[in-house]
Amino acid sequence: MSKTNLTDDDVSKIIEMYNTEIKSTHRLGEHFKVGHKKISQILKSNGILINKKGAQEKDGNSKKIEQSKTNRYGLDNKNRILIAVCKKTQKEFNDVNNLSGALTTHILETFENAYIPSTNYQRKKYESINGKKWHEEYFDIIEKDVKNVRICKLCGWETEDISNKTGCFEIHITKSHDMVLYQYLERFPEDIKYHKNFIKNNERDEQFLNDENFVICKLCNRKMKVISNTHLKSKHNTSSGEYKLLYPNEKLSSETSTSVFRKNSIIGNVNMTPTWTSAGEIEIKNFIEGLGYVVEKSKNRKLLVGKEIDLIIPSMKIAIEYNGLYYHTEKMGKNSTYHLNKTIECHNLGYKLIHIFEDEWILKKDLVKNKLKHLLKMNDGIKIGARKTIIEKIGSEEKSIFLNINHIQGNDSSVICYGAYFNDMLVGVMCFNNKRNMTKSKLGEYELTRYVVKQDYMIAGLASKFIKRFIMDYSPETIISFADRRWTPDGTNNLYTNTGFKLVEIIKPGYSYYNSKVDRYRRFHKFGFGKNSLKRKFPDLDFTKTEKELTSELGYDRIWDCGLFKYKLIPSNHIL
């Protein structure tokens, strides 16, 4: 919503920022949430000369500032690290140089009317004038010791018993936080590495929910698949023959062979009471129920006959999987087709399955909520007709800021960018490129790389208006684009098909890399882990090994998506 009243402090800030940092009435208007004409009126009434568009003055040091290098914070001491601590929330970030944009995102979420320099020149100028980075207005940069201890993520309690050999960590979380181990590990799955037997024991307990999958040793009451001679000899100093004499009616092994065991396990799983429910899954369920929908109980095993589905909305025929990063890696059994197979099986039953990865929910929760509202036909944003917008080309800085705030994938490397303006406010962006990194571009072929509307806005017909303008400017022979099957499970009825694109190819799942030690909430693009990239970063590795072997040595594991739909539009065959 527009800001109707500006305070005296706002007016002073507008004048100061126009004289020092932002020589654009449009950008000042966007920053203070008013029209650019209002900004011009304020400046004129205070005797400020308004520069013509494109003729903004720069101070005499502008060339020097443009050629200067941005200072990077860092430490040579391996026992200490630098962290950025939010002055308002005290939240800590390891990315003190804001290379990932995490500090910018936090500032936008935490500080009202925060000033974000929109160009590299403005950031360098701020640093030149103030001797520090712009984000230090909101963060303190401090040093921190790297200790060889394990820290409780709930309270900061520390122990040197990192591998929990004494059991002190479990005792701590029980006494201090009234929770058992699996509840803690569900919230912080990266810590499972300290409890090597946890997954094995958890899987065994699930299997033993079915009585036919185990027998009970009458000497110690332990559940086992087979009461072996080794167990009887080491634990009870007896043999299987002596055991049978003592308990003639008891079996030494479960009735199930390997194949029968698997069949019964599936049947048992259908009605199994779940032992794990992630915090993110609960939040998504509560959000959808808050929209007025009935959501079936978590961990549904009936729809796919034994395979678990986290959430189901029967009235909309929509299912949702919340994929925790740690538990959805290859080493946790999620192979290249795991997510896709579930998507296809749900599609065959008439359900759309949406996969939400943990990092998306944690870091871009509002964007995920908007996408869910759109899928559930519960959009409650401001409605604007596309005919009321003005389409103009925009620069990379303006495009980047808008995408990072409004698109779930964030910024891209596109070079052709259009913006839609409504009352001088940027409300939509569409980007194109004619150079694809991994494929040979055909002459006259362009890729539609990004399309997004400002959060809390709905603009019917805007995509078609963008495409029509692009075709008019560039006369492309073909336009291609790709849809993520995690969010677009129906390849034949979606935004692309509704704007004239045709589905031409189904691309198999791809992977990204994950390492909880490097970043708890981040999937790394695979392009950064090819052998050439690894040689530059880690020249001492043995490059006779495969990429998978090398990345595994470095502590990275693969996470697979659901693949892509490829679409093509031939403008000469289609009238928008």
| CATH code of the domain containing 506 | 3.40.630.30
User: In this predicted structure, what is the pLDDT of residue 265?
Assistant: 44
Quote the DSSP letter at residue 71.
P
Place of tokens 């197979």: 341
Query: End of a domain among 355, 375, 395?
Result: 375
**Do 342 and 428 lie in a common domain?**
no
Phi-psi sector, 518: left (phi>0), alpha (psi -120 to 50), beta: alpha
Is position 335 within any domain?
Answer: yes
**Do 527 and 408 lie in a common domain?**
no
User: In this predicted structure, what is the pLDDT of residue 201?
Assistant: 62
**Do 549 and 529 lie in a common domain?**
yes
Domain that residue 527 falls in: 511-560
User: In this predicted structure, what is the pLDDT of residue 213?
Assistant: 65
Query: What's the structural domain count of the chain?
Result: 3
**Do 429 and 504 lie in a common domain?**
yes
**Do 504 and 569 lie in a common domain?**
yes
Q: Side chain identity at 151, as an amino acid letter?
A: I
User: In this predicted structure, what is the pLDDT of residue 305?
Assistant: 67
List C-alpha distances in Å: 224 to 31, 138, 239. 66, 58, 16
**Do 521 and 461 lie in a common domain?**
no
Is position 127 within any domain?
Answer: no
User: In this predicted structure, what is the pLDDT of residue 6?
Assistant: 84
Is position 406 within any domain?
Answer: yes
**Do 541 and 408 lie in a common domain?**
no
354, β-bridge pairs: 320
Q: What is the pLDDT along the chain (576 residues), one digit of tens a residue?
A: 445 578 888 888 888 888 877 777 877 887 787 888 888 888 888 888 887 654 444 444 666 776 676 777 877 666 678 889 999 999 988 888 888 788 988 998 998 878 788 777 788 888 887 888 889 989 999 988 776 778 888 888 888 888 778 888 888 988 888 888 877 887 787 788 787 666 556 555 555 555 566 788 888 888 777 888 878 888 888 887 777 777 777 877 765 533 444 444 444 444 444 445 688 999 999 999 999 999 986 666 677 766 888 899 999 999 999 999 999 999 998 999 999 999 999 888 899 999 999 999 999 999 999 999 999 999 888 999 999 999 999 999 999 999 999 999 999 989 999 999 999 999 999 999 986 544 455 678 999 999 999 998 999 999 999 999 999 999 999 999 999 999 998 888 999 999 999 999 999 999 999 999 899 899 999 989 999 999 998 988 999 999 999 999 999 999 999 999 999 999 987 655
Is position 189 within any domain?
Answer: no
**Do 569 and 446 lie in a common domain?**
yes
Is position 353 within any domain?
Answer: yes
**Do 442 and 569 lie in a common domain?**
yes
H/E stretch holding 426 reads: strand 425-433
**Do 417 and 492 lie in a common domain?**
yes
User: In this predicted structure, what is the pLDDT of residue 410?
Assistant: 92
DSSP 3-state of 181: helix
User: In this predicted structure, what is the pLDDT of residue 115?
Assistant: 77
Strands 390-393 and 416-422: antiparallel
**Do 389 and 500 lie in a common domain?**
yes
**Do 519 and 506 lie in a common domain?**
no
Query: End of a domain among 316, 347, 375?
Result: 375
Is position 359 within any domain?
Answer: yes
